[in-house]
């Protein structure tokens, strides 16, 4: 008689341990702030994880105080938007807007500047890399650090992994409309960074029309020198090439600068160990010496069909 | 394919029907007949019936493999057995050759290539183009080439093509450029417009574009000697062509009088003339810091360096040096033209400047303790007299090197870290100690 009891107990304990394990796992995944994604663009579901059995309306938080906060936030934004127009385009006087030669888009001068960013690593897909974002030594730079690990998750499907990413959040206007950056009067991306010798990748996501283009990203490389000195990097936008989910596309297209959504930095150099990247500011500027429109051939597909 | 299978079954049925009466009449000849007819009849369908479930285990390994159930023997075992003595390129090539010569049909070559790709880093051949070509050579030629437009339209032999693409992808991941031999092989195996050829063309288009992009190139083979490696990395991070590398101590192993071995670490430093100039202007009442170790990555190796720096000077101490008009007599070094600047001529970014204090020198050593770094500072003192009067503080992190624990006395540079979980996972101890270098040592 006691035997089944014991087995029952152990199985219960086993279950509870699994459950606890899950609970331990879940916050670590959830604490990585994921940018707001659309319904179609759900979170990456790892192989083997069951589908979430919930209706879409069950995920919505119908809270009264949250609603009040939302109303306050959105109407403040709307008011700001409305009165900005009186000053000039994008809240700047017209003369300044026309004659602008360079613009600082993101600078890291305080803890609130980190709120517009989100970090993620291959932990989302079951890997072991870690990435953290914090302010630098004097609270006026942003330090992205962590450990890189290219051990693939043991799910039988994933063949390789190992990436760490920092990406800016989609900026939103009132009532959660998308707000885009208009950089069409500039032609160069200007970064002031200090790395540790690892090569990074700069990703720019532009607004697209069709939903199958939502993962289209324009990328280029960012090589860091390492050492105690800051490094001013100028990357012309013409050099950015089109990628989709990590693959270079055959038919390339120049980056259209009128609707830029996000910018991101990715590390995936397969060298296991700690890494760090310190960013002072990210800006755009107009380089008169640079006249190239697109650095890659447009007159044929590569390879040809 | 289906009709072939039907025919095969028919054949078997007929065989069974024919052999049944034979068993009754001639039981002794049964086994021979069955063997004979099977090997004769089924050969027409390009399937060898003699061992329908066994992997083609070559003769060399047959002895070791006798006890095992042969149907479960994988190709990983083939490599394990082949590499009993040493895992080298020679043994890898030998295994591939054995597989190629084992049978004409090369059954299971896709699985073999997948297993070989997985085993390549173990054998140290993952960056060898000849080995990849040899692996491609395992594919049978001209069988997977589509022959008519329907085959061309659909994915002809998808598993084989996928395998070829994966081989090329592994080459891509290790940054190896395919050569003309690869192309010839791929055309022979899969035809001119197949997926592996597409992949090859993509690689040949993009690889040369990105090959020499790095403005701070790292050599493919890093120097073995730690001093050479230190020299290379220091000149890389100094970003100044005038900077001079000085070797303060060469690594050597001595045996002391008491008989124990003493290993002296190497100390290599770098300093540029502008850094020396900055250091000469340093206010002697303010301390300089030795900080480190900081990581520097050269491809897949991580080295660490130490810097000598100072905190930024306070605002009242900062003064701009007036230009010395005698420095250049031909043209003035400073122009005081009152030009009206338009808003459109403003080329500088509207950002607050970061002032982190100057860096005076950098060094690399294999042993980051204070005694070793002291050696560096006293070496620097020969060329920079001011270091004799400036107090030097050591702020060393417990990095990759083992450090002795010293009591900290001031809460300097302990920033509140919100991410406690990071602290817990990676204990970072800041050892900070006022260097009590006596006056006697300085003089």
Can the peptide bond before residue B287 be classed as cis, meaning omega within 30 degrees of 0?
no
> Residue B202's pLDDT is what?
92
CB contacts, 8 Å: B294 with chain A: 196, 228
DSSP secondary structure of A99-150: H--EEEEEE--SGGGGGGEEEEEGGGGT---EEEEEE-TTSSSEEEEEEE--
pLDDT in tens, chain B (443 residues): 455 565 556 555 554 444 444 434 444 444 443 444 444 444 444 444 444 454 555 544 544 444 444 444 567 777 887 777 788 888 899 889 988 988 888 888 999 999 999 889 988 998 999 999 999 999 999 999 999 999 988 899 999 999 999 999 999 999 999 999 999 999 999 999 899 999 999 999 999 999 999 999 999 889 988 899 999 999 999 888 888 898 888 888 777 777 777 788 889 999 999 999 889 888 888 899 998 889 999 988 999 999 998 988 887 776 676 777 777 778 777 777 777 666 667 777 888 777 888 899 999 988 878 888 888 888 888 888 888 888 888 888 764 433 333 333 333 333 333 333 333 333 333 333 333 333 333 33
The shortest CB-CB distance from B236 to any of A101, A225, A304 is to A225
Domain segments of chain B: what residues? Answer: 226-312+356-411+420-442
For B236, which residue in chain A has the nearest alpha carbon? Answer: A225
The model's pLDDT over A146-171, given as tens digits with 9 standing for 90+, comes to 999 999 988 888 888 999 999 999 99
The answer, for B232 touching chain A at a CB cutoff of 8 Å, is no
Task: Work out the number of other CB atoms within 10 angstroms of the CB of residue B51.
Answer: 13
Q: In A, which residues are within 8 Å of B295 by CB distance? A: 196, 273-274, 276
pLDDT per residue over A53-63, tens digit each? 888 888 888 89
Please tell me the predicted confidence (pLDDT) of residue B330.
80
- The reported pLDDT for the residue numbered A38 is 41
Nearest CA-CA distance, residue B237 and chain A, Å? 5
Question: What is the structure's pLDDT at B350?
Answer: 80
pLDDT at residue B55 in the model: 52
Q: Nearest chain A Cα to B417, which residue?
A: A134
Closest CA–CA distance from residue A87 to any residue of chain B (Å): 18
Q: What is the pLDDT of residue B353?
A: 78
pLDDT in tens, chain A (305 residues): 334 443 333 343 333 333 333 333 333 333 334 343 444 455 677 777 788 788 888 888 889 999 999 999 999 999 999 999 899 888 888 888 888 888 999 988 888 889 889 999 888 888 899 999 999 888 888 999 999 999 998 888 888 899 999 999 999 999 989 999 999 999 999 999 999 999 999 999 999 999 889 889 999 999 999 889 999 999 999 999 999 988 999 989 999 999 999 999 999 988 999 999 999 999 999 988 999 999 998 888 777 76
Sign of CA dihedral B147, B151, B155, B156: negative
Do A141 and B354 make contact, defined as CB atoms within 8 angstroms?
yes
The CA distance from B114 to A52, in Å, is 35
Beta bridge mates, A223: A199
pLDDT number for residue B8: 56
* Site from A148, A197, A279, A280 to mutate, B interface, most B CB atoms within 10 angstroms: A197
The partner residues of B439 in beta bridges, in order of sequence, read none
B chain contacts of residue A121, beta-carbon cutoff 8 Å: none
- Average pLDDT score over chain A: 83
ipTM score of complex: 0.79
pLDDT value, residue A158? 86
Query: CATH 2.60.120.430 in chain A, residues?
Result: 101-305
User: Exposure of B80 by Cβ count < 10 A (0-12 exposed, 13-18 middle, 19+ buried)?
Assistant: middle
Domain covering A101-305: architecture: Sandwich (2.60)
Q: Which of A146, A160, A303 would you mutate first to test chain B, the one with the most B CBs within 10 A?
A: A303
CB contact under 8 A, B209 and A132: no
- Chain A contact present for B201, CB below 8 A: yes
Q: How far is CA A82 from CA A87, A105, B338, in A?
A: 10, 22, 40
Please judge whether A137 and B415 are an interchain contact, meaning their C-beta atoms are less than 8 angstroms apart: yes
Q: Do A225 and B349 touch (CB under 8 A)?
A: no
Closest by Cβ to B297, choosing from A198, A250, A280: A198
In angstroms, the CA B146 to CA B1 distance is 16
Name which of B213, B297, B298 is nearest A221 (Cβ-Cβ).
Answer: B213
Residue B409, min C-alpha distance to chain A (Å) = 20
Instruction: Say whether residue B237 is in contact with chain A using an 8 A CB cutoff.
Output: yes
């Amino acid at each position: 008689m006691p035997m089944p009891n014991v087995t029952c107990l152990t199985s219960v304990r086993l279950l509870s341990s699994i459950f606890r394990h899950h609970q331990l796992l879940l916050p670590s995944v959830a604490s990585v702030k994921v940018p707001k994604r659309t319904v179609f663009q759900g979170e990456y579901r790892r192989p083997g994880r069951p589908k979430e059995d919930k209706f879409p309306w069950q995920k919505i938080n119908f809270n009264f105080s949250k609603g009040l906060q939302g109303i306050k936030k959105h109407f403040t934004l709307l008011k700001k938007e409305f009165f900005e127009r009186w000053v000039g385009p994008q809240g700047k006087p017209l003369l300044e807007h026309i004659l602008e030669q360079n613009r600082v888009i993101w600078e890291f001068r305080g803890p609130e500047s980190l709120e517009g960013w989100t970090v993620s690593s291959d932990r989302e897909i079951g890997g072991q890399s870690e990435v953290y974002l914090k302010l630098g030594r004097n609270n006026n730079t942003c330090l992205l650090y962590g450990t890189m690990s290219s051990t693939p998750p043991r799910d039988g499907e994933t063949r390789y992994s190992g990436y760490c990413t920092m990406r800016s959040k989609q900026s939103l206007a009132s009532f959660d409309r998308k707000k885009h950056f208009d950089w069409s009067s500039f032609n160069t991306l200007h970064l002031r960074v200090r790395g540790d010798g690892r090569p990074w990748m700069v990703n720019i996501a532009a607004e697209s029309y069709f939903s199958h283009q939502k993962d289209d990203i324009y990328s280029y490389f960012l090589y860091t020198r390492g050492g105690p000195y800051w490094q001013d990097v100028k990357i012309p936008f013409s050099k950015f090439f089109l990628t989709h989910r990590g693959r270079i596309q055959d038919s390339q297209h120049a980056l259209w600068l009128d609707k830029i959504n996000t910018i991101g930095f990715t590390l995936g150099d397969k060298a296991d160990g700690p890494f760090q990247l310190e960013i002072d500011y990210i800006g755009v500027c107009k380089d008169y010496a640079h006249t190239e429109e697109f650095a890659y051939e447009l007159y044929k597909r590569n390879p040809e069909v | 394919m289906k009709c072939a299978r039907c025919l095969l079954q028919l054949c078997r049925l007929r065989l069974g029907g024919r052999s049944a009466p034979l068993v009754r009449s001639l039981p002794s000849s049964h086994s021979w007949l069955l063997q004979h007819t099977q090997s004769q009849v089924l050969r027409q369908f390009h399937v060898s019936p003699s061992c329908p479930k066994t992997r083609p285990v070559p003769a060399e390994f047959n002895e070791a493999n006798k006890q095992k159930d042969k149907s479960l023997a994988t190709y990983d075992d083939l490599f394990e057995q082949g590499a009993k003595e040493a895992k080298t390129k020679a043994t890898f090539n030998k295994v591939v050759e054995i597989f190629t010569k084992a049978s004409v049909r090369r059954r299971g070559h896709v699985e073999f290539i997948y297993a070989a790709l997985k085993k390549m880093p173990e054998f140290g051949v993952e960056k060898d183009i000849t080995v990849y070509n040899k692996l491609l050579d395992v594919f049978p030629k001209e069988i997977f080439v589509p022959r008519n437009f329907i085959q061309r339209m659909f994915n002809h032999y998808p598993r084989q093509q996928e395998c070829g693409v994966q081989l090329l992808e592994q080459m891509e991941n290790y940054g190896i450029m395919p050569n003309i031999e690869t192309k010839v092989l791929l055309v022979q195996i899969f035809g001119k417009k197949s997926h592996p050829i597409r992949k090859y063309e993509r690689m040949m288009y993009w690889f040369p574009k990105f090959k020499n992009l790095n403005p701070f190139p790292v050599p493919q083979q890093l120097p073995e000697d730690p001093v050479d490696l230190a020299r290379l990395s220091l000149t890389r991070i100094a970003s100044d062509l005038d900077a001079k590398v000085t070797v303060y101590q060469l690594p050597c192993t001595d045996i002391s009088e008491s008989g124990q071995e003493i290993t002296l670490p190497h100390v290599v430093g770098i300093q540029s003339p502008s850094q020396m100039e900055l250091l000469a202007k340093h206010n002697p009442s303010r301390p300089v810091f030795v900080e480190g170790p900081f990581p520097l990555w050269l491809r897949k190796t991580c080295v660490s360096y130490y810097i000598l720096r100072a905190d930024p000077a306070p605002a009242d101490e900062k003064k701009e040096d007036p230009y010395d008009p005698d420095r250049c007599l031909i043209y003035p070094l400073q122009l005081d033209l009152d030009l009206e600047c338009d808003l459109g001529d403003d080329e500088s970014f509207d950002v607050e400047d970061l002032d982190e204090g100057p860096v005076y020198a950098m060094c690399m050593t294999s042993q980051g303790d204070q005694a070793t770094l002291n050696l560096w500072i006293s070496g620097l003192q020969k060329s920079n007299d001011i270091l004799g009067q400036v107090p030097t503080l050591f702020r060393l992190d417990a990095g990759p090197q083992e450090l002795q624990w010293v009591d900290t006395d001031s809460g300097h540079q302990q920033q509140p870290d919100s991410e406690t979980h990071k602290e817990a996972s990676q204990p970072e101890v800041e050892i900070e100690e006022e260097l009590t270098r006596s006056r006697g040592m300085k003089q």
